[in-house]
Amino acid sequence: MTTPTRRQREIYDFVRDFINLRGYSPTVFDIASHFNLRATSTVTEHLKSLENLGLIKRGTKNALIQLPTQTKPSSMLGLPNLEETQIEKPPTMVAIPFYGKIAAGEPLEVNNDTTETVYVPPEFTTGNCYALRACGDSMIEDGILDGDLLVIRQSRQAEQGQTIVALVEKKAATVKRFFRQGYKIILEPANQRLRPLTLRPNQLEIQGVVKAILRIY
């Protein structure tokens, strides 16, 4: 194959526009959600084909990292809508691992077998950071919406009122406000319809503090 298929052209356009608008690359999950594809493996195959054509460059573990400088005429690639300009990933972006979904609601099972990397502005990444996709509505009053990309600073401690990632009972993770009351820990949602979680200190493990929220409108 010397030219991309229609779907591959659509994916390329989405990736290009996403990077130009946001300054960081979409995840495979972002692309699959945009095109209503259930299998992320389908997206991965399209990305491999685009990389073979020289239209994108991926990092380790299938991470989208940049759009290389365009050197071939669009007509040769079957991409009449491509501009004959240099499009590159902003050099100031910082790569952090993406660990999938995290509950902004009831705790979800944890899966840290990361297969992706995302790029974010350096001012969002003080210390060691990673990214999670918010799932649920328990933090909507703090501006964390379902589908938001959260940048998390790794930490085992938190101050009163900070929004944290907590591992509950060593098996399920959630995003909540952190409060300590005597010998108890309160994980409080930012949604007046929901009740807080009251836990003993040995029932949870702080895994990080929310530093930034990235959203696609």
For residue 202, the number of C-alpha atoms closer than 13 Å in the C-beta half-sphere is 0
Q: For the chain, where are the alpha helices, taking DSSP H only? A: 6-22, 28-34, 40-52, 74-77
Catalytic, out of 25, 89, 138, 211: 138
Catalytic, out of 72, 176, 184, 211: 176
Copy the structure tokens of residue 34.
Answer: 């945009």
Q: Counting Cβ atoms within 10 Å, is residue 204 exposed (0-12), middle (13-18) or buried (19+)?
A: buried
Core vs surface per residue 151-184: b (16+ CB within 10 A) or e: bbbebeebeeeebbbbbbeeeebbbbbbbeeeee
155 counts as catalytic: no
176 counts as catalytic: yes
Residues recognised as catalytic: 138, 176
